[in-house]
Amino acid sequence: MALIVQKYGGTSVGDIKRIENVAEMVQAAHDAGNQIVVVVSAMSGETNRLIDLAKQISEQPEPREYDVLVSTGEQVTIALLSMALNRRGCPARSYTGSQVHILTDSAHTKARILDIDESRIREDLKKGRVVVVAGFQGRDEHGNITTLGRGGSDTTAVALAAALKADECQIYTDVDGVYTTDPRVVSNARRLDRITFEEMLEMASLGSKVLQIRSVEFAGKYNVPLRVLSSFEPGGGTLITYEDENMEQPVISGIAFNRDEAKLTILGVPDQPGVAFNILGPIGQANIEVDMIIQNVAQDATTDFTFTVHRNDYEKARTVLEKTAKELGAREVKGDKSIVKISVVGVGMRSHAGVASTMFEALARENINIQMISTSEIKISVVVDEKYLELGVRTLHDAFKLEQASAA
Amino acid sequence: MALIVQKYGGTSVGDIKRIENVAEMVQAAHDAGNQIVVVVSAMSGETNRLIDLAKQISEQPEPREYDVLVSTGEQVTIALLSMALNRRGCPARSYTGSQVHILTDSAHTKARILDIDESRIREDLKKGRVVVVAGFQGRDEHGNITTLGRGGSDTTAVALAAALKADECQIYTDVDGVYTTDPRVVSNARRLDRITFEEMLEMASLGSKVLQIRSVEFAGKYNVPLRVLSSFEPGGGTLITYEDENMEQPVISGIAFNRDEAKLTILGVPDQPGVAFNILGPIGQANIEVDMIIQNVAQDATTDFTFTVHRNDYEKARTVLEKTAKELGAREVKGDKSIVKISVVGVGMRSHAGVASTMFEALARENINIQMISTSEIKISVVVDEKYLELGVRTLHDAFKLEQASAA
User: Would you call A79 and B69 a contact, using CB atoms and an 8 Å cutoff?
Assistant: yes
Among the partner-chain residues B16, B20, B69, the one whose CB lies closest to the CB of A80 is B69
Any domain includes B391? no
Q: What is the average pLDDT value for chain B, to the nearest integer?
A: 90
Question: Number of A:B CB contacts under 8 A?
Answer: 109
Partners of A20 on chain B (C-beta within 8 Å) are: 57
pLDDT of residue B209: 63
Any domain includes A42? yes
Partners of A62 on chain B (C-beta within 8 Å) are: 82-83, 86-87
Any domain includes A110? yes
User: Would you call B65 and A86 a contact, using CB atoms and an 8 Å cutoff?
Assistant: yes
The answer to whether the beta carbons of residues B23 and B81 sit under 8 Å apart is yes
- Closest chain B residue to A67, measured at CA: B79
**To the nearest 5 percent, what fractions of chain B are helix, strand and coil?**
35, 25, 35
A248 confidence band (pLDDT: 50, 70, 90): low
Q: What is the mean pLDDT of residues B345-367?
A: 86
Cβ count within 10 A of residue A131: 26
Q: Strand pairing partners for B132?
A: B38, B94
Indicate if ipTM > 0.95: no
Among the partner-chain residues B19, B72, B83, the one whose CB lies closest to the CB of A76 is B72
Distance of alpha carbon A366 from alpha carbon B215, whole angstroms: 80
Q: What is the mean pLDDT of residues B375-402?
A: 92
Per-residue H/E/C for A134-197? ECCEEECCCCCEEECCCCCHHHHHHHHHHHCCCCEEEEEECCCCCECCCCCCCCCCCECCEEEH
pLDDT of residue B245: 57
Q: Give the Å distances, CA to CA, from A92 to A29, A129, A158, A351, B180.
A: 13, 5, 20, 48, 52
Q: What is the average pLDDT value for chain A, to the nearest integer?
A: 90
Domain that holds residue B144: 3-173
Among the partner-chain residues A56, A80, A98, the one whose CB lies closest to the CB of B54 is A80
Distance from the A125 Cα atom to the nearest Cα atom in chain B, whole angstroms: 17
Distance from the B254 Cα atom to the nearest Cα atom in chain A, whole angstroms: 42
Say whether pLDDT at A291 is over 60: yes
User: Would you call A58 and B84 a contact, using CB atoms and an 8 Å cutoff?
Assistant: yes
For residues A198 and B326, the model is more confident at B326
- A345: nearest Cα among A239, A214, A247, A256: A256
A67 confidence band (pLDDT: 50, 70, 90): very high
pLDDT digits (tens, 9 = 90+) for A214-237: 788 888 888 899 999 998 888 889
pLDDT of residue B406: 58
Any domain includes B143? yes
Which of the residue ranges A27-31, A33-37, A164-168, B250-254 would you say has the lowest mean pLDDT?
Answer: B250-254
Which of the residue ranges A195-199, A329-333, B17-21, B29-33 would you say has the lowest mean pLDDT?
Answer: A195-199
Residues 64-93 of B with CB under 8 A from A: 64-66, 68-69, 71-72, 75-76, 78-80, 82-84, 86-87, 93
pLDDT of residue B144: 97
Partners of B62 on chain A (C-beta within 8 Å) are: 82-83, 86-87
Cβ-in-10-Å burial (0-12, 13-18, 19+) of B289 comes to exposed
User: Would you call A93 and B57 a contact, using CB atoms and an 8 Å cutoff?
Assistant: no
Q: Running DSSP on this structure, what letter comes out for residue B387?
A: G
Say whether pLDDT at A407 is over 70: no
Q: How many CA atoms lie within 13 A of A382 on its CB side?
A: 22
B377 confidence band (pLDDT: 50, 70, 90): confident
Number of H helices, E strands in chain A: 11, 20
Any domain includes B370? no
Distance from the A135 Cα atom to the nearest Cα atom in chain B, whole angstroms: 15
Residues 31-60 of B with CB under 8 A from A: 50, 53-54, 56-58
pLDDT of residue B395: 95
Distance from the B228 Cα atom to the nearest Cα atom in chain A, whole angstroms: 28
pLDDT digits (tens, 9 = 90+) for A72-122: 999 999 999 999 999 999 999 999 999 999 999 999 998 989 999 999 999
The answer to whether the beta carbons of residues B400 and B252 sit under 8 Å apart is yes
Best residue in A13, A20, A67, A76 for a mutation probing chain B (most B CBs within 10 Å): A76
Partners of A76 on chain B (C-beta within 8 Å) are: 50, 53, 69, 72
Q: Give the Å distances, CA to CA, from A84 to A43, A66, A129, A261.
A: 15, 29, 13, 45
Helix axes B72-87, B16-31, angle to 10 degrees: 60
Position B335: which residue type?
Answer: G
Count of domains in chain B?
1
CB contact burial B336-355 (16+ within 10 A = b; e otherwise): beebbbbbbbbbbbeeeeeb
- B377: nearest Cα among B188, B191, B155, B202: B202
Q: Which helix (H) or strand (E) holds B172?
A: strand B168-173
B147 confidence band (pLDDT: 50, 70, 90): very high
SS3 state at A81: helix
Full-model pTM: 0.79
pLDDT of residue A129: 98
For residues B276 and B103, the model is more confident at B103
pLDDT digits (tens, 9 = 90+) for B36-78: 999 999 999 999 999 999 999 999 999 999 999 999 999 999 9
For residues A138 and A288, the model is more confident at A138
- Closest chain A residue to B76, measured at CA: A69
Q: What is the mean pLDDT of residues B97-110?
A: 94
pLDDT digits (tens, 9 = 90+) for B202-260: 886 655 567 777 788 888 888 899 999 998 888 889 999 887 655 556 688 899 999 99
The CATH number of whichever domain residue B43 belongs to comes to: 3.40.1160.10
pLDDT of residue B408: 37
User: Would you call A19 and B57 a contact, using CB atoms and an 8 Å cutoff?
Assistant: yes
For residues A391 and A271, the model is more confident at A391
- B78: nearest Cα among A110, A111, A71, A100: A71
Say whether pLDDT at A408 is over 50: no
Any domain includes B302? no
- A152: nearest Cα among A99, A98, A200, A218: A218
pLDDT of residue B249: 63
State percent of chain A over pLDDT 90: 64
Among the partner-chain residues A16, A68, A84, the one whose CB lies closest to the CB of B75 is A68
pLDDT of residue B244: 64
Residues 141-200 of B with CB under 8 A from A: 143-145
pLDDT of residue A200: 85
Any domain includes B162? yes
pLDDT digits (tens, 9 = 90+) for A271-286: 887 888 889 889 988 9
Any domain includes B71? yes
pLDDT of residue B248: 57
Say whether pLDDT at A137 is over 50: yes
Position A347: which residue type?
Answer: V
- Closest chain A residue to B58, measured at CA: A87
DSSP string, B56-79: HH-SS--HHHHHHHHTHHHHHHHH
Q: What is the mean pLDDT of residues B119-145?
A: 96
Q: Running DSSP on this structure, what letter comes out for residue B141?
A: T
pLDDT of residue A150: 57
